[in-house]
Chain A
Amino acid sequence: MTALNVRKYAPKKYLAENGALAGLLVLAVAIAIMQPAFLSAQNLLNVGVQAAVIAIMAFGMTFVVVAGGIDLSVGSIAALAAMVGALTAGPVGLVVGALCGLVNGALISYGKLPPFIATLAMLSVARGLTLVFSGGQPHETDELVSFLGSNLAPSLPLPLLLMLAFFGVTGLVLTRTNLGRRMYAIGGNEEAAKLSGIDVRKQKLWIYALSGLFAAAAGLVLAGRLGSAGPQAAVGYELDAIAAVVIGGASLSGGVGRATGTLVGALVLAVLRNGLNLLQVPPFWQQVVIGAVIALAALLDSLRRR
């Protein structure tokens, strides 16, 4: 055993992420060989834009997963926030999203519900409210929200920039704030966190509120891109967000996960979808391939940890 010496975080940190990153590179090279059009600037920008919505949602999910929870309601919250945003104004949508997250947090912290159940309930409630408010019809988004989905310059799509901004914020929150440190502590050992004076219940409120806020932002970006908020928007996105987090190397039992991992995870999903489209794989088969890739990524990760 070595004596105590302080070394700065070593390249090991990178190695730990290499699994997902290496997978992403292999995937991209394989697709590029089969279909060189994949590498065109326009297409790569498309991939980024396609990744943006899931990535932003998945960043919020990363907080929850690191803290040992799960949030099944992000897809529905995204749709509700977009719909409220279209009917009133974008910022109102964000507030509604954060509020939905707060309700999740309160049910989990003070109602002592398992996160799976609390957010499953919210999945249904938020989707239902979306349908109620929309009357079953899509609604056009206002200028502000549409702007979120637009291009700042011909090759500078705003969703891509927003994704990077949220990535930066997520990394900062996880590594540089007390809230972030507490997420790792709570997910790693909730009892130890409690006995160290961390107000676990209060922290969980914030964590789920953040997830709700991020989901709402993702919903607004999605609506901005499409120019309208639909009652059935973002159905099933929560599963993609969870997949991105897991592909990125986070552990669903909590305490482990990184912003870079989640970004790579979201990109893997987007590259895969884009590549399968370029290769003209029928949509039904695409689902099969994506599922297989998720399983493969999780398998590799579990092998690497042994």
Chain B
Amino acid sequence: MKTLITARGITKQFGATKALDGVDLDINAGEVHVLLGENGAGKSTLVKVLAGIHGHDEGTIEGRASLAVIHQELALVPELSVAENLFLNRLPRKFGFVDRAEMRRRAPELLERVGLNVDPNAKVRDLGIAQQQMIEIARALDKNAGVLILDEPTAVLTETETDRLLEIMAQLRENGVGLVFITHHLDEIQRIADRITVLRDGRSVGVLGPKATTQHMIELMVGRSIEEQYPRARKRPGQPLLRISNFTRRGVFRDINIEVRAGEVVGIAGLVGAGRTEVARAAFGVDDYDYGTVEVDGKPLPRNNVQAAIKAGLGLVPEDRKGQGLVLTATVGQNLELATLENRDAKRLTDVAGKLRIKGRVEQPVKELSGGNQQKVVIGKWLLADPKVLILDEPTRGVDVGAKVEIYELINRMTAQGRAVLLVSSDLPEVIGMSDRVVVMAHGRVAGELPKGATQDQVMALAVQEISA
């Protein structure tokens, strides 16, 4: 097997912290090499060093000329066409002007290589995130990249889209491309990986083969064994704390009825686009709705009024941590106090930060924290506000295994104190494992409700069903 990139003893220092400490990595042609590790373990730094974005302090890298990285934040121009994006920066030219005919001729070939069936003249803005990713991959292939690094590409994809991506990765592997794949989803690893390098605290702590067990991967990653992935401590539910009735927003969701009782976790499952996030936002008063009522602890909430919702005891951890949850220019402490400016309490703030085991100082800029710790800051903001009901929208997206379990423990602690949690999640094992009941949404409607112990198949069957209007 041909080795495309050989990295030996890579060490990278940021100030006093060693982000990478003597890491070895081989990338071979026709192989999918998974980089696994908790957030902050050094995966992204390693990728950036390989790509030459960061220099390295020690070690050697051979053969990185033919490398392309697909970052999580896509590098496409939304207002330009698919074809223009494919040839961005090296548009074919004739007499000094862009040769549109040539572009239109070559674009379909490229799109075919990644199995993407879209109009090359369509604007990228109008495409889904999965299609946009494919365009980036196609662009990288056109540059004859021998090595393709995919940095958490599936974090934003639905299950079907992920399947499609894995198929294309397998096909690229057939064609001799060397692939580096970063993901937190262990099942994906088991489906595609040829080799797994596990990173922890900047060190390579093990190289596993394709048959590695989930248990083994987790142990290496966190350096200890995690007893249970979904440690839900259930208790008998009390009085209803959140009641959403006949909730309707035309064209988005219809006749939604959800009740969450004290001490209860109710999950909302469904495909991306089923209207789950929209219901959560409207209930919290961020967006307007047409009919229906939202009651917190028996009191109806006025529409479109986040302040009133918070005052009544509702909190929302939004799905997009960086875009909606955090003020990245501010510190950890300033983010924590954001929802409780009216009655600030410095002591409680440090208490909560300590209880959450946020790795980082209160006065540290929040952007320096890893994804898992950032998410804990967003949740901590609401713990300070002391809500009766907390809505969590994809609380563990892009969060590593260790931090995930900590977030689950937080959910348990909240329900043990008699609060209620509404958990919106696309992670099926999570929403089933952590919820006492699962409401499944499809096409803006409630497709059904399942008791605890439901199987993934039951949830999916409801999620994909067609509902006649």
List chain A positions with a Cβ less than 8 A from chain B: 1-7, 9, 178, 181-182, 184-185, 187-189, 191-199, 251, 254-256
Contacts and interface: CB of A to CB of B under 8 A. Distances in A.
Contacts of A188: 327-330
A3 B359 contact: yes
A182 B363 contact: no
B361 A2 contact: yes
B361 A6 contact: yes
Contacts of A184: 327, 329-330, 334
Contacts of A191: 323-324
B324 A192 contact: yes
In this complex, the member of A188, A251, A255 whose beta carbon has the largest number of chain B beta carbons within 10 angstroms is A188
Q: Is the interface of A mostly helix, strand, loop or mixed?
A: loop
B260 to A, nearest CB: 20
B310 interface: yes
Closest 5 pairs (CB-CB, A-B): A255-B329, A188-B327, A188-B329, A196-B338, A197-B310
A18 to B, nearest CB: 18
Interface string B323-354: 11111111000100111011000000010011
In this complex, the member of B284, B324, B327, B342 whose beta carbon has the largest number of chain A beta carbons within 10 angstroms is B327
Nearest to B323: A191
B318 interface: yes
Interface residue tally on B, bucketed by range:
35 or more
A181 B326 CA distance: 14
B172 to A, nearest CB: 35
B360 A194 contact: no
Given A4-B359, A255-B327, A185 B286 contact: no
B342 A178 contact: yes
A4 B358 contact: yes
B294 interface: no
A69 to B, nearest CB: 15
B420 to A, nearest CB: 19
B280 to A, nearest CB: 11
A197 B339 contact: yes
Interface of B: 17, 40, 284, 286, 306-307, 309-310, 316, 318, 323-330, 334, 337-339, 341-342, 350, 353-354, 357-363, 381, 385
A176 to B, nearest CB: 11
A31 B436 CA distance: 74
8 contacts: A4-B358, A4-B360, A178-B342, A189-B326, A192-B338, A195-B316, A251-B329, A255-B329
B360 A193 contact: no
Contacts, number: 90
A3 B332 CA distance: 13
Contacts of B337: 181
A256 B329 contact: yes
Given A184-B327, A254-B329, 20 more contacts: A1-B360, A2-B359, A7-B361, A178-B341, A182-B341, A184-B330, A189-B324, A189-B329, A192-B325, A192-B338, A195-B284, A195-B286, A195-B324, A197-B385, A198-B338, A199-B306, A199-B307, A255-B329, A255-B330, A256-B329
A4 B349 CA distance: 12
A179 to B, nearest CB: 9
Nearest to A1: B359
A195 B318 contact: yes
A6 B318 CA distance: 28
B358 A185 contact: no
Contact of A185 (B306, B309, B338, B353): B338
A196 B339 contact: yes
B74 to A, nearest CB: 20
A181 B330 CA distance: 10
Nearest to A187: B329
Contacts of A182: 341
Nearest to B356: A4
Contacts of B361: 2, 4-7
Contacts of B17: 1
A198 B327 CA distance: 13
A239 B84 CA distance: 38
Contacts of B318: 195
A192 B310 contact: no
Nearest to B329: A255
B248 to A, nearest CB: 22
B362 A195 contact: no
Nearest to B332: A4
B327 A192 contact: yes
Nearest to B330: A188
A185 to B, nearest CB: 5
Contacts of B381: 196
A187 B337 CA distance: 16
A45 to B, nearest CB: 37
Given A184-B330, A187-B329, A195 B306 contact: yes
B282 to A, nearest CB: 13
Contacts of B334: 181, 184-185
A261 to B, nearest CB: 15
A195 B325 contact: yes
Nearest to A189: B327
B327 A2 contact: no
A244 B221 CA distance: 50
